[in-house]
Structure 1
Amino acid sequence: MTGIHWLDAGIHIFNYLILVFAISVMVSYIILAMISAYALKSYHKKNRFVNYSALLALPDTPRVSLLAPAYNEGRTITENIKSLLSINYNNFDVIVINDGSKDDSIPILIEAFELVVIDQKYEAKIPTKEVKAIYKSTNPSYSKLVVVDKNNGGKADALNTGINVSKNPYVVCIDVDCIMDKDVLLKLAKPFLEKSDKRIIATGGVVRIANSCVIKSGKLIKVNAPDNWVARIQVLEYLRAFLLGRMAWAKLDGLLLISGAFGMFDREIVLEAGGYNTKTVGEDMELVIRMRRYMMDQKREYAVQYIPDPLCWTEAPESYEILRKQRSRWTRGTMETLWIHRKMFLNPKYKTIGLLSYPYWLMYEYLAPIIECIGLLITILFVCLGILKWQFFLLLTLLVYTFSVMFSMLAIYTEESTFRKYTTYKDLRKLIFIAHLEALIFHPFTVYAAIRGNWGKIKGNKGWGEMTRKGFDKPKA
């Protein structure tokens, strides 16, 4: 009887632990959403009537270099670079770093932009792989374009190469497949022009999904919800992450991640911090944490800004296999970054980062899929053995599903009440429909991908993985 008593007690404890964890996740999401709503309202009130074009006339607008690493991007690279060159800004250049592509990227670039090799000495302030050549255009229309051809070293190494080549005080690190809003640099530059007693070391922006959108000459003409289900689900993910997540963390001064697809950095601080870490696949998150840690270790006042406007549009994976590799890589990157900076965990020296952001990322971003997977397997086992009542399992599943749908609906509502990029009822129906399926189809897949990421890390997998692009050459109006 004693054994049965302890078994019953253990089952009750397990039930409560699973329930408490699920509720804690939901509560944390609700709190972040409330903070984001307040921050978004304040941002719109402050910036609603700003004439960004007027900033073009200011002589002290920050000089910026756009760094765009490219690996086997031949299908889309011409269109993407035209998008970057068409940005509405004065003091900027575009540095495209061809990271040892195996396709015909360089011949395509040479022909499209009339490139020639220039005699420019490469100064490696941050150690990188060998640079083979630096190109400039003979066409005055492309005078702001610099192309660097180098041996393959990965995305982080390519970005470090671009940082070395840049002569401007600020760098914007982006994915070359991104389609940028024409006012992107004006909106990013505004915080640097405002008086502040803190040095702004980084600024992040919102990334949106460009699949099925109409793209012409490197410009976003019309926004459509993706026809592909995998890409459409990622629209919801990005809305939740950028509008209801990162906006709140920025308000709390605890933002740990600026998307590798789009971020602006103080080049001097990046150099002092040592540039991107080439030994992790989570180089974007790791750099932000290291820069923040560096500034706090040096006891220097600083700030990390966040712009909620949809400024950057990127092509999302449309196949589960490519998406799995991406999410597995994200898991490995998070794991590596948290381990590198484990000294910050619950360390009051690092303020919000150490006491709130780091624990949150550890529990709800990295460990959550593992806890969820183990909990689900044990629960199913208990149900099959008759130890656990299936009614409890169904009730918990219904609770989680309902919350997931409602939170996705909140993200859609937030988008429609602020930036309203999806303007047709057809697009809204697509997003609402997929919001009801995501928790049933997509979420289990992301948990599986996270588990694969952990297993890959244990096996010593260090690969970044290839992202096959469909391209923007056949958009659907």
Structure 2
Amino acid sequence: MFFEYVISLLNHLFVTYAVGITGIYFILAVISLFEILSYRDTKKYTNYKELLSSPFAPTISLIAPAYNEGLSIVENIRSLLSIQYNAYEVIIVNDGSSDDSIEKMKANFSLEKVPFFVEEKIKTQKIKAIYKSTNKALHRLLVIDKENGGKADALNAGLNVSNKELVTCIDVDCIIEPEALLKLVKPFVSDDKSEVIACGGVIRVANDCVIQDGRLLGVRFPKSSLARFQVLEYLRAFLLGRMAWAKLNGLILISGALGMFDRKIAVAAGGYNTNTVGEDMELIVRMRAYMAERNKNYKVAYIPDPLCWTEVPETHQVLGNQRNRWTRGTIEVLKLHKGLFFNLKYGVMGLLSYPFWFFFEWLAPIIETLGLVYFFILIALGHVFWLKAIALILVAYTLSVLLSISALLAEELSFAKYVKKSDINSMFLAAILEPILYHPKVVYWALKGNYDLLMGKKSWGKMVRTGFKKAQA
């Protein structure tokens, strides 16, 4: 009798968790779809040229840390220098690269050393030199050459050097849309109800897209199956997740690939934390906590436009390292800020955002694995009602596919970057196959991330890039 009661209780717990996580994801998806459509309609009447020509537009420093990015550094910098915005500068932080990154920058952008003094508002590794271009057409470009300290340390060096009102932090391997700054800055100047402290934008997969001189010329669905599955992940995360959290004013993660921040608040909050591999998420949480503790009316905004294109891993080893790092970063941030848990003082972040990340981002792969182990135990004990079990598996699979299709629908209703019929068909096929072929790997990498954190692993893991596809002559 007791054994049957335990089985019944565990069954209800696992089913309740599954229903809860599925329900929440679909609620977020519905909120996001309405917000995307609203943004699309509003965008028709937005004149970004007014910002482009306005003398009152905020000044911006675009900070891009670079470590061994010689394969694509020149194209990336050209992309950053082609952005449509008047009052901005590009700060490339060479974080002790051991490849030919600095030599390529010197040769292609006519760099020379300049005298410098940097007020170290945030402590960083030593800055060895600062370079500016002798070409007046490249007056926006500033290159910092420093000792290696990791991505967070490089970003902090950029914050120390910058004296602009806003900073945009971007991964140097990304291709940024020409209007990205105009769109990211808009919430800072148009929101008269709240103080906008940060704004994020959509990141898209650039693998197999056509790039020339740092500009995106053609969008193509990747050939690599791993990259294809990541396209779906990015669409779900950026279009169906973060859009909804921004609407609820509970967004606590802006991708390190592209984000804009109020520089003074970022510095006042302490800059990037060099002791975590989740520095992008940790900074947003700390900036939000900084504002909440001072009873400030603030907001973290989000733009659903595809503003940035990045190369994603195409090998299991590199992708596994990345997901391992993401898992460790999430856990580290949650542990550092455990005081937020259901804390009314921090508003939506404490009552909704933190619990969501705790229960449905961190614990989800662990609970899913425990559920699978529990299922095999029931099989061994002969306590499986196969008809119900198969029905539940089919429902879970169907809901997973529907969520991915919802993300594809959001893409087609809003920005429709994939225009070829073959690409759309391939995306639907990837949505059907992902729960079977890809999701188990993601769960494994997350579990390994938990284990590695327990074992004290701190490293980022090696990221090997293949470079962007060039335009054909």
TM-score interval (norm. to shorter) = over 0.9
Question: Following TM superposition, by how much is the alpha carbon of 1:55 offset from its aligned partner in structure 2, in angstroms?
Answer: 1.9
Query: SS state of the match for residue 256, structure 2?
Result: coil
Cα distance in 2, alignment partners of residues 227 and 233 from structure 1: 11
Determine whether 1:179 maps to 2:151: no
Cα distance in 2, alignment partners of residues 207 and 76 from structure 1: 18
Cα distance in 2, alignment partners of residues 115 and 325 from structure 1: 34
The equivalent position to 1:387 in structure 2, one of 383, 391, 396, is: 383
Query: SS state of the match for residue 438, structure 2?
Result: helix
The equivalent position to 2:332 in structure 1, one of 331, 336, 359, is: 336
Q: Name the TM-score, length of structure 2 as normaliser.
A: 0.98
Query: SS state of the match for residue 146, structure 1?
Result: strand
Question: Following TM superposition, by how much is the alpha carbon of 1:48 offset from its aligned partner in structure 2, in angstroms?
Answer: 1.8
Does structure 2 retain, via aligned residues, the 8 Å contact 1:213–1:476?
Answer: no
Query: SS state of the match for residue 132, structure 2?
Result: strand
Q: Which residue of 1 aligns with 2:223?
A: 227
Q: Which residue of 2 aligns with 1:397?
A: 393
CA offsets per residue over residues 99-120 of structure 1, 9 Å max, x none?
Answer: 1111111111110111111101
Q: Which residue of 1 aligns with 2:30?
A: 34
Q: Which residue of 2 aligns with 1:133?
A: 129
Q: Which amino acid aligns with 1:295?
A: M
The equivalent position to 2:303 in structure 1, one of 302, 307, 315, is: 307
Query: SS state of the match for residue 221, structure 2?
Result: coil
Could you say if the C-alpha distance between residues 64 and 35 of structure 1 is closer, same or farther in structure 2, counting changes exceeding 3 Å? same
Could you say if the C-alpha distance between residues 476 and 316 of structure 1 is closer, same or farther in structure 2, counting changes exceeding 3 Å? farther
The equivalent position to 2:270 in structure 1, one of 253, 256, 274, is: 274
Q: Which residue of 1 aligns with 2:198?
A: 202
Does structure 2 retain, via aligned residues, the 8 Å contact 1:212–1:475?
Answer: no
After superposition, residues 23-172 of structure 1 pair within 5 angstroms as 23-172=19-168
After superposition, residues 289-438 of structure 1 pair within 5 angstroms as 289-438=285-434
Could you say if the C-alpha distance between residues 195 and 384 of structure 1 is closer, same or farther in structure 2, counting changes exceeding 3 Å? closer
Cα distance in 1, alignment partners of residues 407 and 300 from structure 2: 24
Could you say if the C-alpha distance between residues 398 and 439 of structure 1 is closer, same or farther in structure 2, counting changes exceeding 3 Å? same
Q: Which residue of 2 aligns with 1:19?
A: 15
Query: SS state of the match for residue 200, structure 1?
Result: strand
Q: Which residue of 1 aligns with 2:439?
A: 443
Cα distance in 2, alignment partners of residues 399 and 288 from structure 1: 36
Q: Which amino acid aligns with 2:464?
A: T
The equivalent position to 1:263 in structure 2, one of 228, 242, 259, is: 259
Does structure 2 retain, via aligned residues, the 8 Å contact 1:156–1:277?
Answer: yes
Q: Which amino acid aligns with 1:165?
A: V
Determine whether 1:218 maps to 2:214: yes
Amino-acid identity (%): 52
Cα distance in 2, alignment partners of residues 347 and 195 from structure 1: 27
Does structure 2 retain, via aligned residues, the 8 Å contact 1:110–1:116?
Answer: yes
Q: Which amino acid aligns with 2:12?
A: Y
Gaps of 5+ in 2: none
Q: Which amino acid aligns with 2:309?
A: W
Question: Following TM superposition, by how much is the alpha carbon of 1:476 offset from its aligned partner in structure 2, in angstroms?
Answer: 8.1
Does structure 2 retain, via aligned residues, the 8 Å contact 1:212–1:476?
Answer: no
Q: Which amino acid aligns with 2:423?
A: D
Does structure 2 retain, via aligned residues, the 8 Å contact 1:383–1:390?
Answer: no
Query: SS state of the match for residue 463, structure 2?
Result: coil
**Number of paired residues?**
473
Q: Which amino acid aligns with 2:343?
A: N
Query: SS state of the match for residue 347, structure 2?
Result: helix
Cα distance in 1, alignment partners of residues 437 and 26 from structure 2: 23
Cα distance in 1, alignment partners of residues 417 and 193 from structure 2: 35
Does structure 1 retain, via aligned residues, the 8 Å contact 2:114–2:131?
Answer: yes
Q: Which amino acid aligns with 1:400?
A: A
Q: Name the TM-score, length of structure 1 as normaliser.
A: 0.97
State which drifts further: 447-456 or 50-59: 50-59
Gaps of 5+ in 1: none
State which drifts further: 390-399 or 306-315: 390-399
Q: Which amino acid aligns with 1:244?
A: L
